Structure 1
Amino acid sequence: MKKVLILLFALTIGLALSACSQSSDASVKEKPKEKKSEEELKKEIDKELKKHGEPKIKQDDQIHKIGETFKAGHTNFTVNKVDRVQKGEYTNIGGAENAKTKTIKDHEERLIIEVTIENIGKDSISYNFTGLDLKDKNDQSVRPVFSIEEQGRILMGGTLISGKKVTGVLSYVIPKGEQKHYTLVYNPFLADITTSNIEERVKDNIDYLVKLD
């Protein structure tokens, strides 16, 4: 924090000295460009969305089922199957590095959701599990978990050239017997986090719903 304050102080002094010899307009023009932060990039995407008159995220008007393949943006998407495991250990994805391993309790079960994403567009796309979100009946997100049992099968991230597909699993711990109350949300725009053509891919910013009953 002290280093940040010192840098801010030095920057302020530098700008003040510059203003003494140049007009304020010239100072603004000569101000060095800074590398865009993640937050600035997000704002740029939101700005692009608004420019096209689109809401931040639209929702598809259809509810899809397990085993159904449907077109979602530049991809075909399928929830192939959902397995239920009522024992074993897991850790939360995105938690602390030293997060403790947890054990499934008697009133819990782990859903193992196998999905396939196929690139049906002309250009390569990236895929990432952040484009998938499990929601409960109150529209609350469930944090994905990792189990050693699914090692090598977890859908993490990568690149798909045109015509190629990938199959992987995501895992979540929910109350036992409550699977029918959960919905998997797939957003192809959020899954493609490395896209360079924001203006084109903004059209894919749609939530597609798959009921898991």
Structure 2
Amino acid sequence: MKFLKLCFKNWIMPIAIGITIAVLIQKFIVIGATVDGLSMMPNLSNNEKVIESKLSTIKRGDVVVFDARDEDPAISAGKKYYVKRVIGIGGDTVEQRNSKLFVNGKEVNQSYIDFYQQSEGTGLNWQLSNLSKRHAWQEKDQNQTRVPKGTYFVLGDNRMLSNDSRSYGFIDKSHILGKAIVPFWRQNKQAKKNINHQAKSFFVN
């Protein structure tokens, strides 16, 4: 009996506590995620691993992981997680004008992508309302002139290839799984800065 008590105290209990902590961290704090596709190039590559932080407050310029099944009508079945950059939050106006992106009338700093992606890649002049008509967004998103409260407008960094809010509208807050963070061991410092810290310099000074 004494041996069993020692085993429980020294082995079973620490292992059980460790497993419980690991499960709680994965469920409520951080988890690993994998980028699927080329829509975030050149800053995130296909199959690249990122950390998904569930506790971070989402801001403009942050890159997020979200469940796209109820957002993108093109998804037929199964789980499908997208990784995109937040451009507009609830209450924002978003427009593309003269090869520049504006949020609430202020020019967005897009130094994290090249001029081709900023201009032709992002598309000709548009506002939210005419985007919704051009791409036949879901009825709930039609004719909005501002990003609705509790939703986000997202774009991929590889604008020419990205399937994002331009095509299917706003992302509901409840579908956001977390903020994507490039781990510290990645060697490309500029790409890491473009993902982890772009929110700090979202607008052109």
Give TM-score scaled by structure 1 length: 0.29
Give TM-score scaled by structure 2 length: 0.30
Greater share of strand: 1
